[in-house]
C-alpha cells in the first residue's frame, strides 16, 4: 500500500499537477486577476513583481488572496473609471449636440416692430423692463447681446445669466437700455440640459423665455410709443 502511495505521489500526473499548481498557474492566474484593475493602476505591475518575492509553496494561496484584493479594491476602481469615462462621453455628446444646435434665440425686435415701420423708423428703442423665465429649471446660459450697426456689426454682451440661478428673473431699469435704429438685439440661450430620454429634440427640452416692455423714442417729437412683447425661441444653426 505504501508502494502504491509512493507511486501515486511520484507519478507523472502528480508531477504535472505540482508544476501546474506551483509553477504555471499562480503567474497565469495573477496576470488574469490584475486585469480587474484599471489599466493605469500601479497595483497591476506591483502584484506581478511581488509574486517573485513569494516562496513558490505559498504562491497559490497568495494569488487567491490577490483575487480578494482585486475584487474589493480593483473592481470599484474599474467601475469608477468606467463611470467617469461614461460621464465624459455623455458630456461630450451633450456638448456636441448643443454645439450642433445651439439654441440661439434671435430677438428680432426691430423686425417685429417693422410691421409698423412708419412709427419705428429713426426711433430709439428703450427697454425699461425685462423678464426672463425659466419655468422648467433648464441648465445653461442666457445671454443678451447687441450688435452694432457698423460694417463689422461687433457684438457686445449686455447681460449674461446662468439658467441654473433662476426660474423667474425680472429687471426694471432705472435708466432704460437704449438701442439705436439698426442695432440688433439678440437673446441667446445655450441649453446644457442632459439629453432627453427617447428621440426628442434638444430644443423641446429647453423652454426659457423672455418678455420686455419699453418705448420708442423720437428725438424730433416729445411723444414716445409704448412697446411690449415676448421674445420667442428660435433656433439658429
59 binds another protein (CB under 8 A): no
Minimum distance between the CB of residue 20 and another protein, rounded to whole angstroms?
A: 21
Q: How many residues bind another protein (CB under 8 A)?
A: 18
Residues 69 and 67: their CA atoms lie apart, in Å, by: 5
Q: CB of 143: closest distance to another protein in angstroms?
A: 41
170 in contact with another protein (CB under 8 A): no
Told to check if 166 binds another protein by CB under 8 A, we report no
Which among 162, 204, 210 is positioned nearest to 186, based on CA atoms? 210
Q: For residue 44, count other CB atoms closer than 10 A to its CB.
A: 20
Q: How far apart are CA 194 and CA 86, in angstroms?
A: 13
54 in contact with another protein (CB under 8 A): yes
Instruction: Assess contact for 181 and 123: CB atoms under 8 A.
Output: yes
6, 14, 21, 68: which one contacts another protein (CB under 8 A)? 68
Least Cβ distance, residue 68 to another protein (angstroms): 4
Per-residue 3-state assignment (H helix, E strand, C coil) for 158-180? EEEEEHHHCCEEEEEEEEEEEEC
Q: Which is nearer to another protein, 51 or 233 (CB)?
A: 51
Closest by CA to 185, choosing from 211, 218, 147, 234, is: 147
Stretch that binds another protein, among 3-11, 64-72, 94-102, 123-131 (CB under 8 A): 64-72
Point out which residues bind another protein (CB under 8 A): 42-43, 45-50, 52-54, 62, 65-66, 68-69, 72-73
Amino acid at each position: 500500500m505504501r508502494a502504491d502511495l509512493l507511486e501515486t505521489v511520484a507519478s507523472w500526473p502528480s508531477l504535472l499537477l505540482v508544476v501546474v499548481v506551483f509553477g504555471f498557474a499562480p503567474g497565469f492566474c495573477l496576470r488574469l486577476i490584475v486585469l480587474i484593475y484599471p489599466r493605469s493602476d500601479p497595483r497591476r505591475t506591483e502584484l506581478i513583481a511581488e509574486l517573485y518575492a513569494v516562496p513558490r509553496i505559498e504562491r497559490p494561496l497568495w494569488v487567491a488572496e490577490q483575487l480578494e484584493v482585486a475584487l474589493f479594491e480593483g473592481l470599484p476602481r474599474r467601475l469608477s473609471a468606467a463611470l467617469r469615462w461614461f460621464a465624459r462621453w455623455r458630456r461630450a455628446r451633450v456638448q456636441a449636440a448643443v454645439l450642433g444646435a445651439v439654441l440661439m434665440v434671435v430677438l428680432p425686435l426691430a423686425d417685429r416692430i417693422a410691421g409698423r415701420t412708419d412709427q419705428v423708423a429713426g426711433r430709439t428703442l428703450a427697454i425699461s423692463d425685462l423678464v426672463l423665465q425659466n419655468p422648467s429649471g433648464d441648465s445653461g446660459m442666457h445671454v443678451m447681446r447687441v450688435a452694432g450697426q457698423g460694417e463689422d456689426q461687433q457684438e457686445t454682451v449686455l447681460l449674461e445669466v446662468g439658467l441654473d440661478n433662476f426660474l423667474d428673473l425680472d429687471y426694471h431699469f432705472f435708466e432704460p437700455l437704449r438701442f439705436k435704429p439698426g442695432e440688433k438685439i439678440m437673446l441667446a440661450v445655450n441649453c446644457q440640459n442632459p439629453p432627453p430620454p427617447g428621440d426628442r429634440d434638444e430644443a423641446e427640452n429647453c423652454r426659457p423665455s423672455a418678455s420686455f416692455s419699453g418705448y420708442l423714442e423720437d428725438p424730433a417729437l416729445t411723444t414716445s410709443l409704448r412697446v411690449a412683447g415676448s421674445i420667442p425661441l428660435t433656433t439658429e444653426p
